[in-house]
Structure formats: C-alpha cells, structure tokens
Amino acid sequence: KQMQSAKGRMKVTVVGTGQVGMACVVSILSQELCDEMVLVDVAADKVKGEVMDLQHGAMFLRNASVSGGSDYSLSAGSSIVVITAGARQRVGESRLDLCQRNAQIFQSIVPQVVKYSPNCIIVVISNPVDVMTYVAWKLSGFDSSRVFGTGTALDTSRLRHMVGSKLGIGASEIDAFVLGEHGDSSVPVWSSATVAGVPILEFAKQIGATEFEKELPTIHAQVVESAMDIIKLKGYTNWGIGMTCAGLVRSLSRNENAIHPVCTLIKD
C-alpha cells in the first residue's frame, strides 16, 4: 500500500532550502513522487523565492503543488519529512565536527515536525547523518522504524559509479554496498559485490581487467574523499545526495520493498 496523507495525496515536506534541500526537492518533483511539496526554512525570503521559482515551472510538474514558508503548520499531514537543514560542512572539517552545531538546530526542527505530522516518516540528510538521525529519533519520540538517515546510500552510489567506470559497466548493473558510518570510516563490502550475479573480481578477470583487484583500496579512498573534492571545487555537494533522497522517497511512497543502506537504530 502506497503512503498517503489523510486527504489521499502524497505530501512531502523538505526542511531546509539550501543547496542540498533544493536538490532533494527538484529530484523528488522531477520523478513525480508526490502530489504536494512543502518547503520549510527559517529564511523566509529564501523559501518564498524558491517556491515562486518552482511554481513558475508548474506546467512541467503534472499536478504537483508547491508551497512553503517558515511556519511548520504548512507541513501538517505530511507522509514524509526530509530534514536537510543544518550548518554547511567547511573545507577540512569532518562530518563529526558538525555534530554540536546541528544538534542545536534539530532541537528547533524535530518537535515542530512531530507536532504537525505525527504519523510521518522522517528522513535525515543533515550531517553527520548517523549522529543526527539518532538525535532526530530521540527528539521525535517515534518508533525507530519511522526515523532513518541516508546512511551510506550515497557512498554506495559513488562506489558503483567508480567501479562501473573502471569496468565499463553501468552503475545500475553493479551490486555492491558501502556499509558502516557515512564518510571516512565507511566499509566497502567487496566480498559480496557482483556484476550480473558474477563475483566482481571474477567478472573483472573475465573481461581482462587484470589490475582491478589492486585498485580496490584506491576506489574506496576516492569514495571517501569525493565529498571534500567536490566541496573544494564548487563549495558544496548537492546533486548526488538529492538523487539519493529521491530514491529513498520513491521506495517509501511506492512501497517498492527495495534495499537501501540507510542508518537507523540497531537493537541487540
């Protein structure tokens, strides 16, 4: 059964209209994953401008409505609430260094989300995402199954892209996961990686990529370093995580029973 609001429509709220938030919004809208999109941000003029800009493309959005503002009441009855708000990661700053600043920001966000959408699922994107997902869960009082973060979903997509580039295979044809904590301490699970059901190292040998196994540590290092590389080049990362977010929203809204490497509470 697909998720719907009380009015029978899929309503998604994105909290935070920075580069990441807007990438999530555009990715969700372009894939036609919701009937209502609500943007919430403390920067009233910014969110107003973003809403107007999106509304001017209404003829390309099918029947999806776009609204927004600084008042969380606009998000009432959302099926999914995506939290992207938070301080931006600086060059040379680890994700964990962001923890204290963003935890304080979440104290003003999560209670409002819960107040107006008590039955929603919360998807956390703000970094450090593993820690912030825990913070959001504690503040929400929700069952842990209703609060999770993007985890290593983006890391996994980066890995599949880089492996695909090495082997000349589309990223969507590679079944490989990065697990653990998002970022520096993530772990690529090479032992279960396959291409069309064939173990990845065996596949590499079959196509003559004899040096591929030696490149595995370098590939993972590139996955870990890629966010900072992008930040150095353009100041922030947004499109990759935006598409990652849309993938999660699609699986939730359409009940695809898909597998995503997210972060959530693990009980012993």
Cβ neighbours for 132, distance < 8 A, ≥ 6 positions apart = 83, 86, 99, 102, 103, 106, 124, 126, 149
- Among residues 56, 161, 182, 220, which one is catalytic? 182
Q: Catalytic annotation on 182?
A: yes
Q: Cα–Cα distance between 125 and 133 in angstroms, integer?
A: 8
Helical (H) or strand (E) element with 12: strand 11-15
Provide the 3-class DSSP secondary structure of residue 51.
Answer: helix
Q: Determine the length of the chain.
A: 268
Q: Cα–Cα distance between 138 and 106 in angstroms, integer?
A: 11
Q: Cα–Cα distance between 262 and 148 in angstroms, integer?
A: 7
Q: Are strands 187-188 and 147-149 parallel, antiparallel or unpaired?
A: unpaired
Provide the 3-class DSSP secondary structure of residue 169.
Answer: coil
Written as six digits, the tokens of 56 are 């001017």
Which of the 8 DSSP states describes residue 68? E
Q: Cα–Cα distance between 55 and 64 in angstroms, integer?
A: 10
Q: Cα–Cα distance between 251 and 249 in angstroms, integer?
A: 5
Q: For 137, what's the count of Cα atoms within 13 Å in the CB-facing half-sphere?
A: 17
162 near 219, Cβ under 8 Å?
yes
Write out the catalytic residue numbers. Answer: 182
